[in-house]
Structures are given as C-alpha cells and as structure tokens.
Amino acid sequence: MEALKDGEIMAKAIGILTSGGDAPGMNAAVRAVTRAALAKGIKVYGIRRGYNGLINGDIVELGARDVSGIMQRGGTVLYTARCPEFRTEEGIAKAAENCKKMGVDGIVVIGGDGSFRGAADLSRHGILCIGLPGTIDNDIACTEYTIGYDTAMNTAMEMIDKLRDTTQSHDRCSVVEVMGRRAGYIALNVGLASGAEAVLTLEEGYDLDEIAASMINASKTGKKHFIIVVAEGVGNAEGIARELQEKTQIEARATILGHVQRGGIPTLRDRVIATEMGYYAVELLEQDISNRVVGMKDGKIYDVDIQEALSMKKEFPHKRYKIVHDTAF
C-alpha cells in the first residue's frame, strides 16, 4: 500500500466505536480498521464509549502508533457503553450532525444487534455504517462467529476445569452458570468441552427429574461428582442446585462465573477473525458501501444488509446438544 506523500490530503474520514458489552478481540478489530484505513489514505477517528462519544463529541484522531500494542489486550481501548439517548430521534440526529461537522463519512460499529439497529438509524441520516459482530454470546443470527466468543468460552472452560477439581475432592455436584444472555451457545460448547453431566439451555429445555435420576444411577456405579452447566438465560443456578440436592441427596453448590468471562487476553481465533473483519469493513467503506454487517458464513467473511441481518434466525446446534446428552454419563 502506498503511503501518502507530504501535503497530500486524506480523501475520506471514518470513525470507529465499540458498543454494548465489551468482548476480547475488539481491540484487534480497532487496530485493523485503523491501520487498514490509514494505509488507504483514509483518516480515522476513535469514538469513545459507544454512541455516547458520537453525541458528546468524545472523539480522537487515531494514528498508526495509537493502536500499537493493543492486539493482545482484553476489553476495549475505546471504552464501551449503552446509550439510551441514541435510541431517540434527537440523539441520532445530533450524532449524525457531529459526524458531518467533523467530516466523518462513515462509521464502523463493533457490537451486537442493538448496536446494529443504531447503525441502521445513523445510515438513514447519510452516514456510511458498517457493523462488526462483537459479543461473547455468539447470538447474532447473520454470522457463525462473533468477536470474543472463543476467548470467553476458553475462560469459562478453564474455570470449570478448576471447579471440577474441588467438586471431585468433595464428592459434590457443581451447578455453574455461564453467560450468553438468552442464548445457550457458550453453555453448550463449554459444557461439551468440560465434560459436563448436563447442559441446561432455553433452546433445548431441561428436566431436573431426569437429570437427578441419571445422577443417582451414576452414583451407584461409582460416580461421585457432577458438573451441571446452566446458560444465563435459564438462570437460577442457586435454585437448581438446591433442587438437585433435594432430589439426589448429593451435596450441591452453585457458581456464577459472571463478568470474568468478558475479560482476558484474546485467543488467536478472536484476534485473527477480528482483524479480518476489520479489514473487510474498511474495504466496504472505501467503496462507499453502507448499512451492512460483516459476518462469517461457511467459514468465510461476507457482508449482509443490516435489516436482513436483524431479521435472520439462528439455528441452535441440536446435534451437538444430543452428543453432550448421550455422552454425559
């Protein structure tokens, strides 16, 4: 890529923001967008704290060195927030006006479905908008993969491995709740990878009597400890632990892993995909393409209209759930 010559004026300017819950790998996307855009002679602005920064003008110009050393850091250097004002027509108009004042032609929004709704609104005001899927939940229908998903699952798996040590030492049952909002993707994969005896998700439903009966049967054959993974959407880990203890007479404890799943050093997969998606977003903006979400389909990066993306439904991997169920005891 040819560098700009002295005195040459950048033809275009774009902004980048992270919105909604943070996710490991967001920084890799920020770096990729910044460096790819600068290499094409596009000026880059970092917008802080999601849509709040657009409304309040909390915007800084980013140079190549400003995104050095951030690839391997969790969280988001741009900070993130939820911004109720951006859900109002006045808020969106103010944000669009600020973009125009600063000469920002386009925005890359890294976030989830909510953030993409905001991006669609902004694009109606003449700002080019591209969404990148950033959430640990993997609950965005138009993409097989979301930035942060892999790191969060690895973190949860590591925690459950630790939990298994103490659960085994005490001949107990651990009921462990993992994040995912209403989606059970983290629970399913982490449950499988940590050899959980049961995975409870909203998508598949569950029967505590059946789980208790399997635990009692298994304990007769020498199995004395159990890991039950509960998706956040199902909730009530404490109540489930109590009920299982009553039904089985096996001592049970509840653990809610919580926000620890959102932090930490991003895995290779998150860094690679975030970088590819960030690069792709700049290619779209360079061509004045707007109102698109970048996603992954059949392992390849692609883009899709935001409204279409928001109307899609995501399949739950029922076969994988059956595998967990059929290999649990």
> Could you say which of 24, 29, 32, 86 contacts ligand ADP (CB under 6 A)?
86
25 binds ligand ADP (CB under 6 A): no
> Could you say which of 46, 74, 75, 118 contacts ligand ADP (CB under 6 A)?
118
Single out the segment in contact with ligand ADP by CB under 6 A; choices: 15-23, 61-69, 154-162, 209-217.
Answer: 15-23
Q: Match 């032609």 to its residue by tokens.
A: 105
- Under rule CB under 6 A, which residues in 237-266 are in contact with ligand F6P? 262
Residue 254 interacts with which of ligand ADP, ligand F6P, none, CB < 5 to 8 Å by class: none
Whether 46 and 35 have beta carbons less than 8 Å apart is answered as no
User: How many Å apart are CA 274 and CA 133, to the nearest integer?
Assistant: 9
- Among residues 19 and 189, whose Cβ is nearest to ligand ADP? 19
> Could you say which of 22, 105, 113, 197 contacts ligand ADP (CB under 6 A)?
113
The SS3 assignment for 179 reads coil
3-state secondary structure 221-274: CCCCCEEEEEECCCCCHHHHHHHHHHHHCCCEEEEECHHHHHCCCCCHHHHHHH
The SS3 assignment for 132 reads strand
The SS3 assignment for 305 reads strand
Residue 232 interacts with which of ligand ADP, ligand F6P, none, CB < 5 to 8 Å by class: ligand F6P
Catalytic status, residue 66: no
Single out the segment in contact with ligand F6P by CB under 6 A; choices: 61-69, 89-97, 173-181, 272-280.
Answer: 173-181
The SS3 assignment for 190 reads helix
User: Residue 213: what are its φ and ψ, rounded to 5°?
Assistant: -65, -40
Looking at 22, 121, 137, 270, which residue is catalytic?
A: 137
179 binds ligand F6P (CB under 6 A): yes
- Under rule CB under 6 A, which residues in 125-164 are in contact with ligand ADP? 135
Which of 268, 263, 295, 275 has its CA nearest to residue 76?
263
How big is the chain, counted in residues? 329
> Could you say which of 12, 16, 20, 237 contacts ligand ADP (CB under 6 A)?
20
The distance of Cα 59 from the centroid of its chain, to the nearest Å, equals 24
User: How many Å apart are CA 279 and CA 293, to the nearest integer?
Assistant: 13
258 CB-side CA count, 13 A: 3
135 binds ligand F6P (CB under 6 A): yes
- Under rule CB under 6 A, which residues in 18-57 are in contact with ligand F6P? 21
115 binds ligand ADP (CB under 6 A): yes
Residue 251, amino acid:
E
Rounded to the nearest whole angstrom, what is the least distance from the CB of residue 232 to ligand F6P in the complex?
Answer: 5
Q: Which residues bind ligand ADP (CB under 6 A)?
A: 19-21, 51, 82-83, 86-87, 111-115, 117-118, 121, 135
Q: Which residues bind ligand F6P (CB under 6 A)?
A: 21, 135-137, 179-181, 232, 262
Q: Which residues carry out catalysis?
A: 137
